[in-house]
Structure 1
């Protein structure tokens, strides 16, 4: 595992010191819904997820296992060992072949691998401006030219306070990917959670690495 434990990758209501990644999975967190997010499932069913797949901030692995079920070479990374153990257990129970690594998403260059598709549900929006730029650079190193990046993040339309999560405006996303990417679409979407039937107002972003 490369990198540090300086970030968590999902909503954590409240303030104060960032929680350790494993602390987020001491109990099932709201975003751990036991199935793929509908927005990503629709992409998979439409055939948009192709090639070798990386899920950045994979949690307990539902999107990795979704891709593995399609016969894709699927890898998930996270800093939460507890979540990764759960993901590996799911893969065994379901008879799926998938790889799970404890790895820092800001250090993808150190994997020395490239992917045709990167998925990101709830990781991009935890970064401040400096780390956001570093993460985009990290993604650029991991996605082959012509590869796709699909991201679900909190929208600025979502009310309330959400701790370290940055609720993003469309313009912020566009600015982050202004160089080296083609923005294919930024569409209103939803992140399902277990604690609110209405879910979280989100953006579904599709980009191509140029």
Structure 2
């Protein structure tokens, strides 16, 4: 009898690599406006972790503000493109191929962060994956640290795709305080979707 697998397998990396062999609809060539607002408000503090960083536009933007930044993504092709951008623009952001559900692996290597930025990663996860991601945050976010989630607004109450502030508040639970939650948009190359931007402070 095989050993039990505690969590379902993540989507295959070749799906994401295939997307990044071109220019995905979600890669708009700049950070989403919600994160520009966050930086302008002085709420980003380093070191910063950018989960599901894709080709690195958000990481590079934050690094240009003078913060130490690590971007992680499941796609090795996306990370390769992010590293190329960093070299071409001479921006000292760091990038690593890593599943955002494996944050304890970063903690085991001595990493900790004062800010974690999630641009449209959490909103695609399944229910158990969301809980696993939050458990991983507990291992790398410093006390007083900030986690910010931008995701498409959930359209159907019984759907898993998308987010609502109420669900985020419930899933994070004790030990986290919601600092802000507001309606915004998630921009794509050819469209925009209603979205929520939620910030949580760790106790």
- Is the structural similarity TM-score above 0.5? yes
Which residue matches 1:143? 141
**1:154 aligns to 2:158 (yes or no):** no
Instruction: Say whether 1:91 aligns with 2:86.
Output: yes
Deviation at 1:171, TM superposition (A): 2.0
Q: Could you say which residue in structure 2 is the equivalent of 1:180?
A: 175
Q: 1:7 aligns with which of 4, 7, 11?
A: 11
Q: Output aligned runs, 1:47-66, within 5 Å.
A: 47-66=42-61
Contact 1:157 1:201 in 2 (8 A): no
Deviation at 1:23, TM superposition (A): 1.5
Equivalent residue runs for 1:26-65 within 5 Å: 26-65=21-60
| Structure 1 runs of 4+ with >6 Å offset | none
Counterpart in 1 of 2:3? Answer: none
- Residue 16 of structure 2 is matched in structure 1 by 21
Structure 1 residue 80 displacement after superposition: 0.7
Aligned length: 191
Instruction: Tell me, yes or no, if the aligned pair for 2:63 and 2:92 is still in contact at 8 Å.
Output: yes
Query: Is 1:200 the equivalent of 2:181?
Result: no
Q: CA RMSD in A?
A: 2.0
- For 1:5 and 1:86, the matched residues in 2 are separated by 25
Shift of 1:20: 2.3
Which of 65, 68, 92 is residue 63 of structure 2 equivalent to?
68
Give ranges in structure 2 of 5+ residues lacking alignment.
1-7
CA distance in 1: counterparts of 2:40 and 2:26, whole angstroms: 21
Any idea what SS the aligned residue of 2:168 has? Answer: helix
CA deviation string 1:96-139 (max 9, x = no partner): 00110000111111112110000001111111111110010011
Q: Which has the higher contact order (CA 8 A, sep 6+)?
A: 1
Normalised to the residue count of structure 1, the TM-score between the two structures is 0.85
Q: Which has the higher helix share?
A: 2
1:13 aligns with none
* Equivalent position SS for 1:30: coil
Gaps of 5+ in 1: 9-17, 159-163
Contact 1:5/1:21, CA 8 A, preserved across alignment: no
Q: Distance in 2 between matches of 1:183 and 1:114?
A: 21
| Mapped partners of 1:37, 1:5: distance in 2 | 29
1:67 and 1:38 map into 2 onto residues whose CA distance is 13
Cα distance between partner residues in 1 of 2:155 and 2:14 = 25
| Cα drift, residue 7 of structure 1 | 3.0
